[in-house]
Amino acid sequence: MELTKINAEPGDEIRTNGQIHPRFVAERTDKGDRQMKGDRQMTDEPRYDGPVVIVTGAGSGIGKAAALRFAREGARVVVADLNAETARAVVEEIQAAGGTAVAVTGDLSDQAVVDQVVQTAVDTFGGVDVLVNNAAIADRLTAAADVSDAEWDRVIRVNLTAPFLLTRAALPHMLAKGKGAIVNTASRAGLGGSAGGTAYTVSKHAVIGLTRSLAVMYRDAGIRANAIAPGATATNMYRDAPGSTTTNIALIAEVDPTARGPRTISPYMSNTGRVADADEQAAVIVFLASDDASNINGAIVPVDNGWSAI
């Protein structure tokens, strides 16, 4: 794909689609080359050498919004998703806007798919600078006694095992560079017990534990790990909540509103506040991955309109 060369002088603001991106302000290297903060380098060749970002669950919702925003800010994006059609559509949208992206599809809880995602980033773009573990599935608001083995295994495998496998695969490449950023999508359900079923709540608490462990284990290697904890967000994971008349949040799977889990959780849904759009979540993800957040490590950032404060 042919990209337009940007001729930037030191201190110039860089605009993409009319927006100023202060993370990528031009500065001059010792050799006189044009360089962008955040590892974006401009040379006399019409090629864009931005940071390499893997975003999972990037075919829709928060993941798609994050992939598009990263691309707008100059990143080269690996769009990873289970759905090949939506992943390709996101890549095409990025390319149509002048960005750079490639799609990898498959079940991200499968080690072979994980290896393919990371190897694609390395082979196509030269490494991994940022990993966004966003892909997740919901449960049926199921209380512990009613959780089947199949529901438990699937939720834990997608929501926890997959982020762990991807992180483990990406870390050697970040360690080799001496820097990197990992942003995990946790949930309001990871901050309490009233925003999801047992399996989903456990999985998101564990994602927060993974985030904090990474922050401690790898801070001396220049690698940061943070997480967002979204509240009610308008994505295709949700539909009208059982028993709720004030929000549009609920789990993608069919629920029985008379069962203990939905019956118990439903009253708490009145505290969710305004439903966010996916781009509001993506904005925080991109910030946490950027050099603007260079001293933020191990943070869990609620993006929930104050729901977690109640």
Q: Which of 200, 218, 238, 268 is catalytic?
A: 200
Residue numbers in the chain where pLDDT is lower than 50: 1-48, 238-253
**SS3 call for 269:** helix
Length of the chain: 310
Q: What pLDDT shows up at residue 254?
A: 66
Q: How big, in percent rounded to 5, are the helix, strand and coil portions of the chain?
A: 45, 20, 40
Note whether 237 and 138 are within 8 A (CB).
Answer: yes
Domains, the chain, ranges and CATH?
1-49 (no CATH), 50-309 (3.40.50.720)
Q: What are phi and psi of 126, to 5 degrees?
A: 100, 5
Residue 78, classified by CB atoms within 10 Å of its CB into exposed (0-12), middle (13-18) or buried (19+), is: buried
Map residue 206 onto helix, strand or coil.
helix
Residue 243: C-alpha distances to residues 194, 263, 264 (Å):
14, 8, 10
pTM over 0.85: no
Assess whether 200 carries a catalytic annotation: yes
